[in-house]
Amino acid sequence: MDNNEKQIIYGKNAVLEALRSDNEIDSLFVQKNASLGAIIDAAKKRGVLIKQVAEEKLTALCGTPKHGGAA
């Protein structure tokens, strides 16, 4: 993978593990009204930009409805 190529990680567990790693994370997309306290807290601690989006937009971004509300 090219170093400039961006990857989308989705699913609650995968996103939380990515936030706990040393990998660079550009931004976090969370579904509006989703209960994602631990993920949001981890993103805030790392200074990651958090964007709340509609479920439809998150599904389109991930290419699947199985995103768990976070990408």
pLDDT at 49 (0 to 100):
97
Report how many domains make up the chain: 1
Strand blocks (E) in 1-71: 27-31, 49-53
24 occurs within a structural domain: yes
19 occurs within a structural domain: yes
Mean pLDDT of 22-43: 92
pLDDT at 3 (0 to 100):
62
Residue 39 has pLDDT above 60, yes or no: yes
Q: Which residues lie below 8 Å from residue 40, measured CB to CB, with a gap of 6+?
A: 28, 30, 50
Q: How confident is the model at residue 34 (pLDDT cuts 50, 70, 90)?
A: confident
Structural domain of residue 29, as residue ranges?
A: 12-62
5 occurs within a structural domain: no
45 occurs within a structural domain: yes
Mean pLDDT of 29-55: 94
pLDDT tens track for 5-28: 788 999 999 999 999 998 899 999
